[in-house]
């Protein structure tokens, strides 16, 4: 399975910047769906309501799915890689 990596930077409520990647099947090109995944993740981190648009989230590249991502992608439709300030 090939997946798309969406590089995402969101300013948190405290002013710091979260950096995370949204990993989704490559055939999902509708940004409304991708941003929805990002908003769902932000809600899980108590950061709901923060802006998430093309300014914060951009397609980066396509790669082969990693085994540790695959089950969650099949279950939820996406996987999040936490990079910076996601705690």
Residue indicated by tokens 């991708």: 34
Instruction: Give the pTM.
Output: 0.95
Domain ranges within the chain, ordered by starting residue: 2-84
What 21-25 contacts at long range (C-beta under 8 Å, 24+ apart), as own/partner pairs, is 21/60, 21/80, 21/81, 21/83, 22/57, 22/78, 22/79, 22/80, 23/65, 23/69, 23/73, 23/78, 23/79, 23/80, 23/81, 24/73, 24/77, 24/78, 24/79, 25/1, 25/73, 25/77
Per-residue confidence (pLDDT) for residue 13, from 0 to 100 = 96
pLDDT band at 1 (very low <50, low <70, confident <90, very high): very high
Q: What average pLDDT score do residues 12-36 get?
A: 97
Q: Does domain 2-84 have CATH number 1.10.3720.10?
A: no
């Amino acid at each position: 399975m090939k997946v798309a990596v969406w590089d995402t930077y969101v300013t948190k409520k405290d002013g710091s910047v979260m950096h995370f990647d949204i990993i989704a099947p490559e055939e999902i090109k509708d940004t409304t769906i991708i941003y929805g995944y990002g908003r769902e993740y932000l809600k899980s981190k108590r950061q709901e309501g923060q802006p998430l648009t093309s300014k914060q989230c951009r397609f980066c590249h396509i790669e082969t799915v990693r085994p540790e991502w695959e089950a969650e992608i099949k279950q939820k439709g996406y996987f999040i890689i936490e990079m910076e300030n996601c705690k």
